[in-house]
Chains A and B, each alone.
Chain A
Amino acid sequence: MRRRIASFTSLLFIFSLLLAACGQGGSTSGSGNSGISQQGLSGGNPYINCPSSTNTTAAAPESGQITLTVSGWSSTPAEDALVQQNLQNFEKLHPNIKVNWSPIPGDYPTKMRANVASNTVPDVFYLQPAMSAEYVSSGKLLNLSPYMARDNVKASDYYSTLLNPFVCTSGQVYGLPKDWNSLGVFYNKQMFQAAGLPTPSAGWTWTDLQNDAQKLTKNPGTPHSVYGVVLSADASRWGAFLEQAGGSVLNKDGTKAAFNSPQGVQALEFYDSFFKNNTGALPTTVGAPWNGDAFGKQRAAMVFEGGWLIPYMTTTYPNVQYGIAPLPIGPTGKPANLSFTNAWAAYSGTKHPEAAWELIKYMAGPVVQESNLNAGFALPTLKSLANSPYFSSHPDLKVLFDAASYSYADYYGPQDTAIHTDLSNAIQEVLLNKESVQTALSNAETQVNTQLQGG
């Protein structure tokens, strides 16, 4: 799961066609091209152009022996075993379909791109949001909406924030989210106890966070320092605070940067306040490569990370007692968070589209998602699993899951990676005291707008 974060904050990004005045911003639900019945996401995704031609009907089921090549990645051997188990269960349910699972280690998007270039694309594969715009707009993916309509799989079954990155302007669905993650506040129980502070809980605010950080910081600037928070200069963390302040990264149709606003300034000043007050530091300051490691080394009382930190703590720092709380509430009074997800998608040129759909339907369906949840691997993307029994025994995960209804996808269209990089650089400049908040945001705005215009 940590991979997903690595991929979002890494340098992977797609260069695609200019956003034309394609979509009218999505009107009614369901109706796609020329009135043919499809199941889509109402509101569409203004960031992603629909392909010029795509399938609008569902292919008929095939008989006879079919082999599907399936590709993705696995962060751990245990995760890999689970995927294979689920694929085998699918084979039992569909005796005429054989599945070849061939995960790609290393740089997934680059290898997939090489596959596209050499025309050796797997039938079914994982789709990262950063890959989404390029693949969707160039028509490389199978349009799933006709199949969803045929089999009564509704777009509304899934949380819209999670489905959104895989949908194009007119609402056609090209990938079904298989799992996701959000950010939570990981807090060190012992430190809170020792300081006599109540642990963070739902409804706590930005001010509470700042006060707690103040009281929990000890010996800042020394080799034995412990900071209230350890933060990284990462747009995939700060973005949550931007949303909490009521701002957003891009404007509604994704044509201009929108973060250089009073809300953006407020959010960045808040993020920087920990550094200015010496109650927060970068992970490298405390000798850790990332926030999670700083938390494990107990040099941080709190960090903002996602569910991927849980297995890391269990394997590397099992003795630290911690809890997970929702992110604090900002000036708007409404909670906000970021969501990170990946989807199952199919190649538009697959010889077995119907079988590919069956596989996607199963792997992104309730049975597999519940089994993944029960194995502690991932959060489900289906609304129907919101009250799954697993959550009652794992309240920490529930905290993360609850953010589904108020999360924003950490995804910004074809220039996604460039936008992340520009924002992260701006944040870093501010945290390192190289620029003022206004200048940094203004510079980043210029850069992002240039990239959005295809420069």
Chain B
Amino acid sequence: MLSQTTLVAQVFQVYRWEGVSFMAAQPAKSSLAPASLVGAVGEKRARRDAGTPSARRRGETLTAYLFLTPYLFVLLVFFALVSVYGVGLSLFTVDLGFTPPQFVGLHNYQVLFSQLFTNPSLSPFWISLVNVIKFTAIVVTGQTILALILALLLQTLVRGKGIFRTAFYIPALTSSVATALIFLWLYNPDGLINYLLSLLHISGPDWLNDPFWALPALMILNIWTTAASFMIYFLAALQDLPREILEAAEVDGANRFQILWRVTIPLLRPTIFLVVALGTIGAFQMFDQAKFMTNGGPLNSTLTPMLEIYNAAFNDSRFGSAAAMSVILFIIIFAVTILQRRFIDVSPQG
């Protein structure tokens, strides 16, 4: 639940920073005007209203908070409080019920970083980070390219667009557990995937039990599940590309590939950033398949940070250490997203 909603939400937050309405997912201005106009007008009126007697405003405040009460409860307790709690927890040794929590300052972080500098290959947390970086790099690249290709192909169709779109989207609807279960079976050494490979005279490996192939198996699974959802974003963006520019390029004599490479893709940069950022944030937090299909094995090759955090907290009862790992993971995701924005996105001045 949270993964999907949080994912899409991230990028809206990102746009908000620049003070640009979230609707500016593409550089062309044409479709923006009406929406922002209404909003602007509305805002002006609101400001004018603000000059009314304070009695009315006080009444407004009360009503407003009545409307907001259920949401504020959830926001404060399960989001804001919890986030602060999470950071604070990382400064303690906590095991929930057996011994009283002890303040240890930065000890949890010290332990993790000293492992990094002395023997990272023996530390599950850093191993999991390496795994997830590999995983994210390949999955995000794969699903972005695949999504873009599918959208471009679909765009050229005259008929049947809707049917294909529907068909592609269906894997995204299934729950991660059901999908994991299905692929657990398909990845069996004697399962369908190896059978199909054998038809091509390729002898497939023991996917989920081979330390080399287990992570790639999960990568393929993830690309399969999410490529189509991101295709939807590209489709929407492609539909809104300014026709004038594309026409102009054609008139100038550019061929299909030149148009694609020089015109279309640069115009799509904001959407590409959207897809890459969402994909990255999601991939970095991969948990379900790692827990369900391989439980981090074989030989920790599919151990992801979320799984290690879960294990530390719920198997070892090391809540403080788990919180410290969460904070580190958050910082890394944050930094990567900022970098991606810098290099992929266009700054919305145009």
Q: Do A and B bind?
A: yes
Measuring CB to CB, which residues of chain A are less than 8 angstroms from any residue of chain B? 11-17, 110, 113, 116-119, 134-135, 138, 140, 282, 284-285, 287, 417-418, 425, 428-429, 432, 434, 443, 446-447, 450, 455
Partner of B318, one of A15, A113, A432: A15
> Which chain A residues border B179 with CB–CB below 8 Å?
none
| Residues 278-320 of B contacting A (Cβ, < 8 Å) | 295, 298-300, 311, 314-318
Partner of A140, one of B98, B115, B317: B98
> Which chain B residues border A17 with CB–CB below 8 Å?
99
> Which chain B residues border A418 with CB–CB below 8 Å?
316
Also in contact, A134 and B295, with CB within 8 A (given A14-B316, A434-B211): no
A455, closest chain B residue (CB): B111
B95 is an interface residue with CB less than 8 A from chain A: yes
Cβ contacts A to B, 14 pairs, < 8 Å: A11-B311, A116-B98, A134-B95, A134-B98, A134-B317, A284-B209, A287-B188, A287-B189, A417-B315, A418-B316, A428-B299, A434-B299, A443-B122, A446-B122
- Name the distance in Å between B93's Cβ and chain A's nearest Cβ: 9
CA of A340 to CA of B298, assembled, Å:
25
| Residues 311-333 of B contacting A (Cβ, < 8 Å) | 311, 314-318
Are the CB atoms of B119 and A446 closer together than 8 Å? yes
CA of A446 to CA of B211, assembled, Å:
22
A418, closest chain B residue (CB): B316
B interface, by DSSP: helix, strand, loop or mixed? Answer: loop
- Name the distance in Å between A128's Cβ and chain B's nearest Cβ: 13
- Name the distance in Å between A225's Cβ and chain B's nearest Cβ: 13
B345 is an interface residue with CB less than 8 A from chain A: no
Partner of B314, one of A16, A110, A446, A450: A110
Partner of B299, one of A425, A450, A455: A425
B97, B99, B188, B318, most chain A CB atoms within 10 A: B97
Are the CB atoms of A138 and B99 closer together than 8 Å? yes
> Which chain A residues border B209 with CB–CB below 8 Å?
282, 284
- Name the distance in Å between B303's Cβ and chain A's nearest Cβ: 11
CA of A327 to CA of B264, assembled, Å:
70
Also in contact, A450 and B98, with CB within 8 A (given A13-B315, A455-B111): no
Are the CB atoms of B299 and A15 closer together than 8 Å? no
CA of A425 to CA of B190, assembled, Å:
25
- Name the distance in Å between A177's Cβ and chain B's nearest Cβ: 23
CA of A135 to CA of B115, assembled, Å:
29
> Which chain A residues border B298 with CB–CB below 8 Å?
428, 432
Are the CB atoms of B115 and A11 closer together than 8 Å? no
B115, closest chain A residue (CB): A455
Are the CB atoms of A113 and B97 closer together than 8 Å? yes
> Which chain B residues border A285 with CB–CB below 8 Å?
206
B82 is an interface residue with CB less than 8 A from chain A: no
B121, closest chain A residue (CB): A443
> Which chain B residues border A287 with CB–CB below 8 Å?
188-190
**Per-position binary interface string of chain B over residues 104-123, scored 1 when its CB falls under 8 Å from any chain A CB and 0 otherwise:** 00000001000100010010
CA of A91 to CA of B170, assembled, Å:
57
Are the CB atoms of A15 and B95 closer together than 8 Å? yes
B99, closest chain A residue (CB): A138
Are the CB atoms of A284 and B206 closer together than 8 Å? yes
B298, closest chain A residue (CB): A428
CA of A287 to CA of B190, assembled, Å:
8
B95, closest chain A residue (CB): A15
- Name the distance in Å between B92's Cβ and chain A's nearest Cβ: 13
A15, A285, A418, most chain B CB atoms within 10 A: A15
CA of A134 to CA of B99, assembled, Å:
9
CA of A17 to CA of B102, assembled, Å:
12
B96 is an interface residue with CB less than 8 A from chain A: yes
Partner of B96, one of A117, A282, A425: A117
> Which chain A residues border B119 with CB–CB below 8 Å?
446, 450
CA of A180 to CA of B189, assembled, Å:
35
CA of A134 to CA of B295, assembled, Å:
24
> Which chain B residues border A447 with CB–CB below 8 Å?
122
- Name the distance in Å between B117's Cβ and chain A's nearest Cβ: 13
Also in contact, A113 and B317, with CB within 8 A (given A425-B300, A428-B298): yes
- Name the distance in Å between B198's Cβ and chain A's nearest Cβ: 11
- Name the distance in Å between A5's Cβ and chain B's nearest Cβ: 16
- Name the distance in Å between B148's Cβ and chain A's nearest Cβ: 38
> Which chain B residues border A110 with CB–CB below 8 Å?
314-315
Are the CB atoms of B190 and A117 closer together than 8 Å? no
Are the CB atoms of A15 and B317 closer together than 8 Å? yes
CA of A119 to CA of B98, assembled, Å:
11
B95, B115, B206, B209, most chain A CB atoms within 10 A: B95
Beyond contacts A11-B315, A13-B316, A284-B189: 4 other A-B pairs, Cβ-Cβ < 8 A, are: A14-B316, A15-B317, A113-B97, A455-B111
A11, closest chain B residue (CB): B315
> Which chain A residues border B115 with CB–CB below 8 Å?
450, 455
CA of A31 to CA of B208, assembled, Å:
54
- Name the distance in Å between A415's Cβ and chain B's nearest Cβ: 9
- Name the distance in Å between A252's Cβ and chain B's nearest Cβ: 25
The 10 A-B pairs at the shortest CB distance, nearest first, are namely: A117-B97, A138-B98, A116-B97, A15-B316, A117-B96, A284-B209, A11-B315, A447-B122, A15-B318, A138-B99
CA of A428 to CA of B189, assembled, Å:
18
CA of A446 to CA of B249, assembled, Å:
64
Are the CB atoms of B211 and A432 closer together than 8 Å? yes
A135, closest chain B residue (CB): B98
CA of A418 to CA of B321, assembled, Å:
15
CA of A422 to CA of B208, assembled, Å:
20
> Which chain B residues border A11 with CB–CB below 8 Å?
295, 311, 315
A454, closest chain B residue (CB): B111
> Which chain A residues border B98 with CB–CB below 8 Å?
16, 116, 134-135, 138, 140
> Which chain A residues border B95 with CB–CB below 8 Å?
15, 134
Partner of A113, one of B96, B99, B188, B311: B96
Are the CB atoms of A12 and B315 closer together than 8 Å? yes
CA of A429 to CA of B95, assembled, Å:
32
> Which chain B residues border A135 with CB–CB below 8 Å?
98
- Name the distance in Å between B304's Cβ and chain A's nearest Cβ: 14
B189, B190, B206, B299, most chain A CB atoms within 10 A: B299
- Name the distance in Å between A323's Cβ and chain B's nearest Cβ: 30
CA of A117 to CA of B96, assembled, Å:
6
A12, closest chain B residue (CB): B315
> Which chain B residues border A455 with CB–CB below 8 Å?
111, 115
A139, closest chain B residue (CB): B98
- Name the distance in Å between A133's Cβ and chain B's nearest Cβ: 10
| Residues 203-225 of B contacting A (Cβ, < 8 Å) | 206, 209, 211
> Which chain B residues border A14 with CB–CB below 8 Å?
316-317
B115, B189, B295, most chain A CB atoms within 10 A: B189
- Name the distance in Å between B205's Cβ and chain A's nearest Cβ: 11
> Which chain B residues border A429 with CB–CB below 8 Å?
299
B295, closest chain A residue (CB): A11
B98, B189, B317, most chain A CB atoms within 10 A: B98
CA of A15 to CA of B108, assembled, Å:
14
> Which chain A residues border B299 with CB–CB below 8 Å?
425, 428-429, 432, 434
